[in-house]
Chain A
Amino acid sequence: MGWALALHGGAGDVPRTLPPELREPRLATLRRSLDLGAAALREGRPALDVVELVVRELEDCPHFNAGRGSVLAADGTVEMDAAVMEGATLRCGAVSGLSTVANPVSLARLVMERTPHVYLAFAGAEAFARDQGVETKDPSHFITEHNIERLRQAKEANRVQVDYTQPMNGQATQQAQTPADDNSQTG
């Protein structure tokens, strides 16, 4: 059947009135990442290399919620997560709570390939990144003005937001925060 790839840059409630200055850079990055991945597959590179290559490109785009441009936790910091998995072998690697690693997906791959483990988090993952010599940045590198404003709005509304949540008024926020039943926090 031949090669194929698909990618995403997040999902949510994106209004059709999204201004061009917010829409176009994201579409351009999706196109660039798709072309990059397709070219790599056309050249015969393995799927594992391709998914890492594409996700790195998306992480480097400040308009998406990963790498530079990651949204902010309640304390104003970034805590990035990433994972990679290879189908034929079921090998996988994952990282959580990163605040300095430029491309978390590549660190996840190193967890998969160079440790006996599947998942490293927070201080341990940061220490592993330093040990492996991957590119790191000052935590401020990942924080954008746009995301500072989004955190301010979310705090004002007292809620957490998925990638493309639209602003809500106070009444709607209260309704959204109220558990619908006793199972609302199951898990």
Chain B
Amino acid sequence: TVGCVAVDAAGNLAAATSTGGLVNKMPGRIGDTPLVGAGTYANALCAVSATGVGEEIIRRTAARDVAALVEHRGLPLRDAAARVVAGAPRGSVGLVAVSRGGEVCMARNTTAMFRACATEAGHDEVCIW
């Protein structure tokens, strides 16, 4: 699964995700990616794209849960993402997120996630583990 989240210089947020799903999935199976709030979500505060075991991400509405913790509990994006990921079974969820303020977060409970991020302030990172 691939995905991207971004906040532009005007503070607009967006998220996008795309996937082939799971190897050997049943034909007709739909994963988390296209279900609004499960694998992809954006509002005026943050944008989130998830990857991992789709069924677990759907059960937890993971992307929307991150946004809801920011919106309703006032958690920093990093804490909200960590909480959602920690609540999922080990090895099942990874996500990337950005906030309107330009905070970047890449959280996972898997051993690895192919990921990258950059900010206007000059932070730049590409990594796997």
Binding site for B on A (CB under 8 A): 1-14, 16, 18, 23, 26-27, 30-31, 33-34, 37-38, 41-42, 44-48, 50-52, 54-55, 58-59, 64-67, 69-75, 77-88, 90, 92, 94-97, 104-105, 108-109, 118-119, 121-122, 142, 147, 150-151, 154-155, 159-165, 186-187
Contacts and interface: CB of A to CB of B under 8 A. Distances in A.
B86 interface: no
Nearest to A55: B16
A73 B22 CA distance: 7
Interface string B92-129: 11111110111111101011111111111100101011
Contacts of A46: 8, 10, 12, 14
A154 B110 contact: no
A160 B22 CA distance: 6
Nearest to A109: B16
A72 B19 contact: no
Contacts of A67: 18, 20
SS of A interface (majority):
mixed
Contact of B4 (A37, A71, A81, A95): A37
A85 B114 contact: no
A17 B31 CA distance: 29
Contact of B27 (A8, A79, A187): A79
Given A11-B108, A81-B33, A4 B120 contact: yes
B20 A78 contact: yes
